[in-house]
C-alpha cells in the first residue's frame, strides 16, 4: 500500500481524515468516525520508510488526574498495570507520559506495520490500536466516573 491508498481506504469507509497542522512527518493522516470519536493517526516518518506507525494519544481529563492522584499508590499502580498489560498482550506498545511520573497525563499507544500489501492486515492493526484505546477510556470511566471535561485533538478520559 502507498500513502494514497491508505487515505482512499479510510475515505471509502466514510471516515473523517485530515493532516494535523503541526505534523512534521512525511505522511501523517488523522482518522476518526464521521460523527466524531476516537482519533487514530497513521504515520510514515520519511519518504523512504517501509512501515507505518498506527498511533493513538489519550489525554487524561483533569478530574481523572485528581482521582488518580488521590488513590492509594498500590491501587493506582495495579489499575495502570492492568491497562498496560492489556495493551502489551495485544501487541500494542504503550507509554505513559511524562515518563517516570506516578500519575500519567497522557497515554500513547503505537504499533508499527511493515511492508503492507493487504488492506485487511492494515485495518486489523488500525482497529487493534483503536480498540485498546477504547478499552483504556472505558477502564478510566468505569473506575473513576464520567469525566466532566472533554478535550480537543487528543481524547480526554
d(CA 101, CA 121): 35
pLDDT at 152: 46
- Once rounded to an integer, what is the mean pLDDT over residues 67-91? 96
Work out the average pLDDT over 76-88. 97
Q: Which domains does the chain have, with CATH numbers?
A: 3-156 (3.30.1460.10)
Predicted TM-score (pTM) of this structure: 0.90
Handedness of CA 124, 133, 142, 85 (dihedral sign): positive
Whether the Cβ atoms of residue 50 and residue 143 lie closer than 8 Å to each other: no
pLDDT tens digits for range 113-151: 997 778 999 999 999 999 999 999 999 999 999 887 655
How does 94-109 read in b/e, with b if 16+ C-beta sit within 10 Å?
bebeeeeeebbeebbb
pLDDT of 31 > 80? The answer is yes
Amino acid at each position: 500500500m502507498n500513502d494514497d491508498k491508505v487515505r482512499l481506504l479510510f475515505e471509502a469507509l466514510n471516515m473523517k481524515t485530515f493532516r494535523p497542522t503541526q505534523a512534521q512527518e512525511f505522511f501523517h493522516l488523522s482518522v476518526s468516525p464521521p460523527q466524531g470519536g476516537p482519533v487514530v493517526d497513521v504515520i510514515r516518518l520519511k519518504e523512504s520508510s517501509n512501515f507505518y506507525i498506527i498511533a493513538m494519544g489519550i489525554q487524561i481529563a483533569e478530574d481523572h488526574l485528581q482521582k488518580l492522584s488521590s488513590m492509594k499508590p498500590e491501587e493506582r499502580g495495579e489499575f495502570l498495570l492492568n491497562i498496560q498489560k492489556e495493551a502489551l498482550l495485544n501487541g500494542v506498545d504503550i507509554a505513559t507520559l511524562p515518563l517516570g511520573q506516578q500519575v500519567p497525563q497522557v497515554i500513547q499507544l503505537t504499533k508499527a506495520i511493515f511492508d503492507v500489501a493487504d488492506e485487511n492486515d492494515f485495518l486489523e492493526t488500525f482497529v487493534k490500536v483503536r480498540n485498546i484505546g477504547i478499552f483504556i477510556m472505558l477502564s478510566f470511566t468505569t473506575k473513576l466516573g464520567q469525566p466532566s471535561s472533554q478535550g480537543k485533538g487528543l481524547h480526554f478520559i
